[in-house]
Structure 1
Amino acid sequence: MTALLRAEWTRLFSRRVTLVTLVLIATLLAFLTFGFTLTRSDPTAEEVRVAGQRAEAAAILYDRNVALCEAVQSGTQSAPAGVDFPRGCDYGARPTADSLLEFGFSFARQWPQLFTTAAIVLTVAGFVLGASFVGVEWSSGGMLNLLLWAPRRWAVLAGKLIAVCAGIALVSVVYLAAWTGAFVAVDALGDSVSVMTFGDWASLVITAVRVALLAMAGTALGFAIASMGRHTSTALGVGIAYLLIYELGGIILFQLIGGTDYSARYRLSSWVSAWMNKSYAFESNPAYCDDKGCVPAATTQLGSWPQAGVVIALVVAVLLAGAFATMRRRDT
């Protein structure tokens, strides 16, 4: 098994698609770093003062609107004529001076968004690498030659899976380290990095671990689908069809209907969002107001990141079980 893992590890990083993917990721990092370098600037004392005044006024209006909306939707107050309220009284984030400052990059403020971007890039890259790593072997006949050397099918498939998941984990760690270092360097002239506490850095490290695990899950998904379909294009086709038809189609459909998006609980993207953002709100019959009056809100359930981890792990486990079952069935 050790020799098999060593051979698969070498094969993974000697493939052109792996090298091209690494180059594309490095290029993306370079472009983003250069772009943030151009937009980085520090606010002046006058800009900070003006932003504080604007935030104070906006926060008062925000609190007033939220209080009125909650009173109307709870039925304790009638709705004013001509006033529309958002579903669930969702007015967005409460205005702060930092959110109203018109200045460029701040690592302390923007690193969660940066890590979300990294998660998308690494997960997509992992899906493609996982699919191509096993799909090309089947379509080219390389898998059959390998099975002559190591006839234990499950061991061969497991070796490939471990190698490609470990590979994307290593790529994720290196990429996130370079990603963090590059943006810290961009922000080094400012003071946002210095104001980050130990808790902030601990949260950053934990988020990085979640990014790496998500990338490994995407790799396993691509690997499993391509293994069952015996071709890379099978995984790519299934992935694109799922995103366009089920994910995007469901969002568009419920937006057109204008009702509660009941499909959110059954979309993988919702649980991925909960995994990265620590929670995701699933609404069921949120409050709304029309010409006939207001309907109080029903319960709103939160999907936590541990729940999201279980859901993602179950999806990966089911597809991998199908891949291994197909591998064994075709051997008999």
Structure 2
Amino acid sequence: MSRLFAAEWSRLFSRRVTLVTLVLIGGLLAVLTFGFTLTRSTPTPDEIESAKVNAASAAEVWDSNVDRCGKVQSGLENAEPNEHFPRGCDYGSRPTPESMLQYGFSFHRQWPSLFYTAAIVLAVAGFVLGASFVGVEWSSGGMANLLLWAPRRGAVLGAKLLAACAGVGLISLVYLTLWTAAFMAVAAGNGTVSQMTGGEFGSLVLTGVRVVLLAVAGTALGFAIASLGRHTSTALGVGMAYLLIYELGALILFGVIQTVDYSQHYRLSSYISAWLTKGFTFDTDAACSGCVPAAGFSGSWQQGGLVIAAVVALLVMAAFVSMHRRDAR
């Protein structure tokens, strides 16, 4: 198994599609970094002082709203007519002086959206790399030749899957590290990095771990679908069909019948959002005085991770079963 893994690991990083993918995502990082460099600006002392005053005022309102919402939803107070509250008393982040400076680039304020962007890039790259890594083996006849040398079907497919996932995991880790360092360097010009607390840096690291794991899941998903269809184009076709027909199509369909929130239960993107953002909430249009509407959907990052893992595990198991039951031609 170790020899198979070493061979597949070497093959993964010698493939042209891997090198092209690395160049593309590296180029994207360079373009985005340059773009954010152009928007970087250092606030003046007067602007900082004004932001502090505005943040203090906004924070008082935020604290009052959260306190009032908590008391009403816990039953300590009654809601006034036409008084409504967000689900979970989620009023967003507490206002800070930096959040009042809504211009230029701020790593402190914008790093979550940067990481979510990286997650999309790496998950798509992983899906393509995983699909092409095994798909080209089936379509070219390389899998049949390999099985003549190593007839253990499960071990062969497992080594390929492990190499693909480990390779994409390493690529994602290195890329995300460079991604973070590049944007921190951009932000260093206006001193926003130093304003992050230890807890915020811890949240950044944990989000980075979730991004890497999502990329690995995307790799396994593409690998499994391509193995089942025995062609790279099968995985790419299934992926595009799912996004265009199911994700977008279901959104339009349920929007027409005015139950958009219902579709969120059955869309993988909802659970991916929950996984990345540590929670997902879809608010309905239904009004509810002093309470949360019964309709709608909300989930934690744990629920999102379990659903993603279940989908990936189901397809990977199907790929291994198919490998054992079908011929290798």
Shared fold (TM-score, shorter chain, > 0.5): yes
Structure-to-structure mapping, 1:157-172, within 5 angstroms: 157-172=157-172
TM-aligned CA distance change 1:151 to 1:158, over 3 Å? same
Distance 1:62 1:202 in 2: 24
Contact 1:165 1:219 (C-alpha < 8 Å) held by counterparts? yes
State the shift of 1:91 in Å. 7.3
Question: Does residue 1:232 correspond to 2:235, yes or no?
Answer: no
TM-aligned CA distance change 1:186 to 1:306, over 3 Å? same
State the shift of 1:280 in Å. 1.2
User: 1:261-283 CA distances to partner (integer Å, 9 max, x unpaired)?
Assistant: 11112211111111111111255
TM-aligned CA distance change 1:249 to 1:260, over 3 Å? closer
SS in 2 for 1:288: coil
Distance 2:113 2:20 in 1: 25
TM-aligned CA distance change 1:265 to 1:196, over 3 Å? same
Distance 1:313 1:307 in 2: 10
* Residue of structure 2 equivalent to 1:319: 315
Read off the aligned partner of 1:322 and give its amino acid letter.
A
Contact 2:85 2:290 (C-alpha < 8 Å) held by counterparts? no
User: 1:232-259 CA distances to partner (integer Å, 9 max, x unpaired)?
Assistant: 1110011011111111222233334444
Distance 2:138 2:15 in 1: 15
* Residue of structure 2 equivalent to 1:306: 302
* Residue of structure 2 equivalent to 1:111: 111
Contact 2:251 2:260 (C-alpha < 8 Å) held by counterparts? no
SS in 1 for 2:194: coil
State the shift of 1:209 in Å. 1.1
**TM-score between the two structures when normalised by the length of structure 2:** 0.86
Distance 1:18 1:258 in 2: 44
State the shift of 1:57 in Å. 6.5
TM-aligned CA distance change 1:204 to 1:54, over 3 Å? closer
Contact 1:86 1:288 (C-alpha < 8 Å) held by counterparts? no
Question: Does residue 1:135 correspond to 2:135, yes or no?
Answer: yes
TM-aligned CA distance change 1:90 to 1:47, over 3 Å? same
State the shift of 1:328 in Å. 0.7
Read off the aligned partner of 2:293 and give its amino acid letter.
A
* Residue of structure 1 equivalent to 2:38: 38
* Residue of structure 1 equivalent to 2:181: 181
TM-aligned CA distance change 1:123 to 1:6, over 3 Å? same
State the shift of 1:47 in Å. 2.3
Distance 1:320 1:246 in 2: 21
TM-aligned CA distance change 1:276 to 1:90, over 3 Å? closer
**TM-score between the two structures when normalised by the length of structure 1:** 0.85
* Residue of structure 2 equivalent to 1:121: 121
Read off the aligned partner of 1:321 and give its amino acid letter.
M
Structure-to-structure mapping, 1:123-272, within 5 angstroms: 123-272=123-272
Distance 1:143 1:275 in 2: 35
RMSD value, Cα: 2.9
Distance 1:165 1:258 in 2: 40
Question: Does residue 1:28 correspond to 2:24, yes or no?
Answer: no
Distance 1:117 1:206 in 2: 16
User: 1:150-198 CA distances to partner (integer Å, 9 max, x unpaired)?
Assistant: 1111111001000000000110111011111111111222222112222
Read off the aligned partner of 1:12 and give its amino acid letter.
L
TM-aligned CA distance change 1:64 to 1:6, over 3 Å? closer
Structure 1 gap ranges (5+)? none
Number of matched pairs: 320
SS in 2 for 1:280: strand
Contact 2:99 2:109 (C-alpha < 8 Å) held by counterparts? no
Deviates further, 301-310 or 168-177: 301-310
Contact 2:129 2:219 (C-alpha < 8 Å) held by counterparts? yes
Read off the aligned partner of 1:195 and give its amino acid letter.
Q
SS in 2 for 1:261: helix
Contact 2:287 2:293 (C-alpha < 8 Å) held by counterparts? no
Structure 2 gap ranges (5+)? none
State the shift of 1:298 in Å. 3.2
Distance 1:52 1:308 in 2: 37
> Identity of paired residues, percent?
63
SS in 2 for 1:281: strand
State the shift of 1:60 in Å. 7.6
Distance 2:118 2:245 in 1: 25
* Residue of structure 1 equivalent to 2:286: 287
Read off the aligned partner of 1:305 and give its amino acid letter.
W
Contact 2:79 2:290 (C-alpha < 8 Å) held by counterparts? no
Read off the aligned partner of 1:123 and give its amino acid letter.
A
State the shift of 1:147 in Å. 1.0
Read off the aligned partner of 2:238 and give its amino acid letter.
V
Contact 2:85 2:291 (C-alpha < 8 Å) held by counterparts? no
State the shift of 1:63 in Å. 8.5
Contact 1:265 1:282 (C-alpha < 8 Å) held by counterparts? no
Contact 1:287 1:295 (C-alpha < 8 Å) held by counterparts? no
Contact 2:264 2:297 (C-alpha < 8 Å) held by counterparts? no
Read off the aligned partner of 2:211 and give its amino acid letter.
V
* Residue of structure 2 equivalent to 1:329: 325
